[in-house]
C-alpha cells in the first residue's frame, strides 16, 4: 500500500498567489515525521519543512507552512505569495517511528505564471 499519496500531478498558480499541495499518509505508528522537499529543474532536492506527529503547532518556514490534520492523516504544504522561482516538483515524505527509511510520494509539479 502507498504510504504517501500526492493526488495532484501538476498545478498552475499565478505569481503572488498562495498554493496548497495535498499530501495524505498512511501509518499505524503513533510516532512519525513528515517532510517536504522541492526539486527544481536542475535536479537537486531541497528540504523545505518538517512536521513531527507530536508537534502541537503547525510547522512554518518563511513562505512555507504545513497544514497538519492528524485525524485526517494529511499534511498539506502551503506556499504563500508564489514566486517564479517556486516552479518545481514538490515531494511529500514520511519517516515512521525509529526507522531510517523515508518514503516519498509521487510528487506534484508546480508552475508559477507571471
Partner 1 sequence: DVKVTQSSRYLVKRTGEKVFLECVQDMDHENMFWYRQDPGLGLRLIYFSYDVKMKEKGDIPEGYSVSREKKERFSLILESASTNQTSMYLCASETGDNNSPLHFGNGTRLTVT
Binds partner 1 by CB under 8 A, chosen from 11, 13, 78, 106: 106
- Do 106 and 8 meet the contact criterion of CB atoms below 8 Å apart? no
28-87: which residues touch partner 1 (CB under 8 A)? 31, 33, 35, 37, 42-45, 47, 50, 52
2 or 14: CB nearest partner 1: 2
- Do 6 and 22 meet the contact criterion of CB atoms below 8 Å apart? yes
Binds partner 1 by CB under 8 A, chosen from 25, 68, 79, 107: 107
16 or 40: CB nearest partner 1: 40
DSSP assignment, residue 58?
Answer: P
Task: Using alpha carbons, select from 85, 76, 75 the residue that is nearest to residue 114.
Answer: 85
CB of 105 to partner 1, least distance (A): 5
Beta-bridge partners for 94:
34, 103
Long-range Cβ contacts of 64-69 (<8 Å, 24+ apart): 64/36, 66/34, 66/36, 67/20, 68/34
* By the rule CB under 8 A, 19 interacts with partner 1: no
Residues that bind partner 1 (CB under 8 A): 4, 6, 9, 31, 33, 35, 37, 42-45, 47, 50, 52, 91, 93, 95, 98, 100-107
Amino acid at each position: 500500500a502507498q504510504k504517501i499519496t500526492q493526488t495532484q500531478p501538476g498545478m498552475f498558480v499565478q505569481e503572488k498567489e498562495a498554493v496548497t499541495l495535498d499530501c495524505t499518509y498512511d501509518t499505524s505508528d503513533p510516532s512519525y515525521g513528515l517532510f517536504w522537499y522541492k526539486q527544481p529543474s536542475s535536479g537537486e532536492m531541497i528540504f523545505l519543512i518538517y512536521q513531527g506527529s507530536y508537534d502541537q503547532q503547525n510547522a512554518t518556514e518563511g513562505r512555507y507552512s504545513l497544514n497538519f490534520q492528524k485525524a485526517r492523516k494529511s499534511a498539506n504544504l502551503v506556499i504563500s505569495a508564489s514566486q517564479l522561482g517556486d516552479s518545481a516538483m514538490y515531494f511529500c515524505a514520511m519517516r515512521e517511528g525509529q526507522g531510517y527509511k523515508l518514503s516519498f510520494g509521487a510528487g506534484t509539479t508546480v508552475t508559477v505564471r507571471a
